[in-house]
Structure 1
């Protein structure tokens, strides 16, 4: 596996929907140790959906800063989850696109991590998402997702 000297950044130019969304989430879940989403105190979320993620919760904590976001308001709660086949099924059961992950139904800002490196992050309400790639292996993974629209970030 060839490593890059620098990290390459690739932004999504279109909201992945339906089958493209499912393929994206499959690649992310299969190649990440964990992922997280956030919930803001001032927003409401579907508690029945959140309860289904509870068995896979590794940790929760409050912060004002997470991948791609820094808030001046109240701290958000980060829910760190196992990345596995069961959480993949939940991620595609309750959303048909990446930007469906927004209040009031779902938590926000899906972020995927491998070896403590954030390689995919999303700021849902801004409809911004992208990859941080540091090897050919991961670059080949994302370019193997048929229909995913990407552009390099300069």
Structure 2
């Protein structure tokens, strides 16, 4: 059974990098969003997508992703990338907080997924909302790896 654990305070700097490193072993893939047709992401965001290019697994127009659902017919572009040491390095150097992943400066709503597509880490960056979805065994492992500044609260 999965439980949800909300981040109580923003993980910034080393806490952000440590959080990503702590949960990365549970995930195979991560996703980022772009607003879609007729919009233009900032140069920083385009550079991040270029750096992640060789890790790209899929790019699809979607109406839902962890924590968000679009009502109506609009879509956003979701990019799914292979999560490995190289791509994790891009994520830890392109931003200093989960809540930095806001369009148009960067792609939006960073999320980590297991091989079965279930969420490990979800964010709605514009709302300063971030959470982990973990089994009890995963929680025990992750808590032991988290930096001291990262605080979780069961949801």
1:68-120 Cα distance to aligned partner (Å, 9 max, x none): 10113620111000100001110011111111111222111111112322121
**Which deviates more, 19-28 or 42-51?**
42-51
8 Å CA contact 2:110, 2:123 repeated in 1 = yes
Specify the SS of the correspondent of 2:14: helix
Q: Could you list the runs of 5+ residues in structure 1 that have no partner in the other structure?
A: 1-5
Cα distance in 2 for residues equivalent to 1:140 and 1:45: 39
Cα distance in 1 for residues equivalent to 2:142 and 2:32: 21
TM-score normalised to the size of structure 2?
0.88
Aligned to 1:87: 87
Aligned to 2:141: 141
8 Å CA contact 1:37, 1:79 repeated in 2 = yes
Aligned to 2:111: 111
TM-score normalised to the size of structure 1?
0.88
Specify the SS of the correspondent of 1:48: helix
Tell me how large the CA RMSD over aligned residues is: 1.5
Query: Which structure shows the higher strand fraction?
Result: 1
| Alpha-carbon distance, 1:43 to partner | 5.4
1:114-148 Cα distance to aligned partner (Å, 9 max, x none): 23221211111111010111241x10233120221
Aligned to 1:129: 130
